[in-house]
């Protein structure tokens, strides 16, 4: 459920299923975020800093004095610490919510390597491709208003922008069956060499990109397949979706997400920046390993992510958004049904709808997305009715495939939501 470099499949996890699945939903700036160069030795003091801990809140109706920390929550905390102790992340955190109430939250690692400050469990982080859930929701709201039609061709809204755009529908953009080349497969946007990563850390991360120039570069590449013929995660699809929002409303996708989702839901820790490199409020730092040692690269210009991955949020806000979306507060029944009409991704156990995916990691089906941007990894997973959520975020430090690194954490979070051991009721 995530996507990091545009490789086929990825958004969940069931052995190989989760492997390709997760890489698929985090996509923006994937290589730099999740690592693409050879492993570099851990900086002194980063490993073994699991620290942190868990805070449990008794489930509604729990007996006074009863221990509310279920095996499911303990499993998540164990995975949080294991990833940090292995030197693959400098920090991570998680929250489990039931019917709007936080049942449990935990952290591991340190917020900053220099002073080893504690991780704030309520802190903010970049959400990468979780942004797609917001973008798709706005497009579907416009569908409900009769301003966009899912089976209209892209050329009806963006004439001349996409070669063959008359054969690609809006629906195919949102469910990744367009066949369009993903710009994050291009090293201009995602460096995959040590030299490229160094150049990005020094100057490239400050560059401002427009969706139009990125799309123009992407569509100059041959498509992966004819529209509708297969499935391939492509971040280009969602830059185009953001452009359609602007064409249909006269306002940018960022403004429409703010107006239609963030403000109505009171998501005070969520923002959709254009080019500001800042993360306001409490947040843990991110580091890129270079030959000379780790460099703090928390600050980046997120414009290359755009409607595909520029967002910032918190575990509490993401849980609230998921609950509102799947609980029917943001979309009418017809549009919510369209969002959940999934296609085969070719990854066992993982299907993709319109900006959301469903995945079965062996303990029940959950819905949501995953994301990654510049080494910030995030997941939101929840029940189809929006009653329960698990949200996870991490600052990756090592250079192993994030699908291997975070497999156990993703599964533990999924099972805490979908399984019977979370103490959340049924």
| In the chain, domain spans | 16-45+106-378
> Which residue do the tokens 């806000």 mark?
317
Say whether pLDDT at 237 is over 80: yes
Average pLDDT estimate for 273-281? 96
Q: Report the C-alpha gap between 107 and 93 in whole angstroms.
A: 4
Say whether pLDDT at 383 is over 80: yes
Average pLDDT estimate for 242-266? 98
Nearest of 125, 139, 184 to residue 355 by alpha carbon: 139
Instruction: Kindly report, residue by residue over 317-335, the tens digit of the pLDDT.
Output: 999 999 999 999 999 999 9
Average pLDDT estimate for 90-117? 96
Instruction: Please tell me the predicted confidence (pLDDT) of residue 399.
Output: 84
Report CA Rg, the chain.
Answer: 20
17 vs 94 pLDDT, higher one: 94
List, edge to edge, every strand of the sheet that includes 376-382: 53-56, 101-109, 89-98, 388-396, 376-382, 365-373, 357-360, 350-352, 343-347
Q: CB-based burial of residue 122 (10 Å sphere; 0-12 exposed, 13-18 middle, 19+ buried)?
A: middle
Instruction: Please tell me the predicted confidence (pLDDT) of residue 55.
Output: 56
Say whether pLDDT at 120 is over 90: yes
Q: 308 with 131: CB under 8 angstroms?
A: yes
Provide the b/e sequence for 241-280 (b: ≥16 CB within 10 Å): bbbbbbebbeebbbbbbbebbbeebebebbbbbeeeeebe
Q: What is the DSSP letter of 102?
A: E
CA 98 to chain centre: 21
Longest dimension (CA), the chain: 66
Q: Report the C-alpha gap between 360 and 12 in whole angstroms.
A: 7
Instruction: Please tell me the predicted confidence (pLDDT) of residue 51.
Output: 63
Q: pLDDT-derived band of residue 358, with 50, 70 and 90 as boundaries? A: very high
Query: What does the block give as tokens for 267?
Result: 């998501």
How many residues can be counted in the chain?
A: 426
Fold that domain 16-45+106-378 belongs to in CATH = Beta-lactamase (3.40.710)
Say whether pLDDT at 26 is over 90: no
Describe the chain by its helix, strand, coil percentages, rounded to 5: 35, 20, 45
Query: What are the start-end ranges of the E strands in 196-291?
Result: 287-290
Say whether pLDDT at 159 is over 80: yes
Say whether pLDDT at 60 is over 60: no
Q: pLDDT-derived band of residue 190, with 50, 70 and 90 as boundaries? A: confident
Q: pLDDT-derived band of residue 192, with 50, 70 and 90 as boundaries? A: confident
pTM of the model: 0.88
Kindly state the helix (H) or strand (E) to which residue 296 belongs, with its residue range: strand 293-296
Sign of CA dihedral 182, 313, 99, 332: negative
Q: pLDDT-derived band of residue 176, with 50, 70 and 90 as boundaries? A: very high
Q: CB-based burial of residue 210 (10 Å sphere; 0-12 exposed, 13-18 middle, 19+ buried)?
A: middle
Say whether pLDDT at 64 is over 60: no
Mean pLDDT for the chain overall: 86
Average pLDDT estimate for 259-285? 97
Average pLDDT estimate for 147-173? 98
Phi then psi dihedrals of residue 270, to 5 deg:
-115, 135
Q: 152 with 136: CB under 8 angstroms?
A: no
Dihedral angle computed from the Cα positions of residues 37, 17, 108 and 132, in that order, rounded to the nearest 10 degrees: 80
Q: 394 with 97: CB under 8 angstroms?
A: no
Give the number of other Cβ atoms within 10 Å of residue 346's Cβ: 13
Say whether pLDDT at 421 is over 80: no
Instruction: Please tell me the predicted confidence (pLDDT) of residue 343.
Output: 98
Kindly state the helix (H) or strand (E) to which residue 405 belongs, with its residue range: helix 402-405
Say whether pLDDT at 342 is over 70: yes
Instruction: Please tell me the predicted confidence (pLDDT) of residue 54.
Output: 65
342 HSE (CA, 13 A, CB side): 17
User: Which residues belong to the active site?
Assistant: 129
The three-state secondary structure class of 363 is coil
Instruction: Kindly report, residue by residue over 28-48, the tens digit of the pLDDT.
Output: 333 333 222 222 222 223 334
Q: pLDDT-derived band of residue 76, with 50, 70 and 90 as boundaries? A: very high
Say whether pLDDT at 180 is over 90: yes
17 HSE (CA, 13 A, CB side): 20
Q: Report the C-alpha gap between 9 and 277 in whole angstroms.
A: 30
Say whether pLDDT at 82 is over 80: yes
Instruction: Please tell me the predicted confidence (pLDDT) of residue 52.
Output: 72
């Amino acid at each position: 459920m995530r996507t990091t470099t545009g490789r086929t499949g990825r958004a969940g996890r069931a052995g190989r299923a989760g492997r390709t699945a997760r890489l698929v939903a985090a996509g923006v700036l994937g290589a730099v975020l999740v690592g693409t160069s050879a492993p570099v030795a851990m900086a002194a003091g980063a490993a073994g800093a699991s620290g942190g801990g868990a805070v449990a809140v008794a489930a509604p109706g729990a007996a006074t004095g009863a221990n509310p920390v279920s095996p499911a929550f303990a499993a998540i905390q164990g995975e949080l610490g294991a990833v940090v102790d292995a030197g693959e992340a400098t920090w991570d955190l998680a929250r489990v919510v039931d019917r709007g109430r936080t049942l449990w939250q935990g952290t591991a690692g340190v917020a900053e390597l220099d002073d080893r400050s504690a991780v704030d469990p309520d802190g903010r982080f970049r959400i990468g491709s979780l942004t797609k859930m917001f973008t798709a929701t706005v497009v579907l709201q416009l569908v409900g208003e009769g301003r966009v039609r899912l089976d209209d061709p892209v050329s009806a809204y963006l004439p001349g922008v996409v070669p063959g755009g008359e054969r690609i529908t809006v629906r195919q953009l949102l469910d990744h069956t367009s066949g369009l080349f993903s710009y994050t497969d291009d090293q201009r946007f995602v460096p995959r060499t040590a030299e490229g990563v160094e150049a990005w850390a020094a100057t490239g991360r400050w560059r401002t990109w427009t969706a139009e120039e990125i799309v123009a570069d992407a569509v100059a590449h041959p498509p992966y397949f004819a529209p509708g013929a297969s499935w391939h995660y492509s971040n280009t699809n969602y830059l185009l979706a953001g452009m359609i929002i602007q064409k249909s409303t006269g306002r940018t996708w960022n403004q429409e997400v703010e107006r239609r989702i963030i403000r109505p839901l009171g998501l005070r820790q969520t923002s959709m920046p254009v080019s500001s490199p800042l993360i306001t409020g409490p947040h843990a730092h991110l580091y890129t390993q270079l030959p000379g040692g780790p460099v703090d690269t928390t600050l980046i210009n997120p414009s290359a992510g755009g409607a595909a991955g520029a967002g910032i949020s918190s575990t509490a806000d993401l849980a609230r958004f998921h609950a509102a979306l799947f609980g029917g507060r943001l979309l009418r029944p017809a549009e919510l049904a369209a969002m959940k009409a999934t296609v085969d991704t070719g990854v066992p156990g993982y299907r993709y709808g319109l900006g959301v995916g469903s995945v079965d990691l062996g303990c029940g089906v959950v819905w949501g997305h995953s994301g990654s941007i510049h080494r910030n990894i995030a997941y939101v997973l929840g029940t189809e009715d929006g009653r329960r959520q698990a949200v996870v975020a991490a600052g990756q430090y090592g250079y192993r495939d994030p699908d291997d690194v975070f497999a156990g954490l993703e599964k533990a979070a999924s099972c805490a939501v979908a399984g019977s051991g979370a103490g959340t009721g049924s």
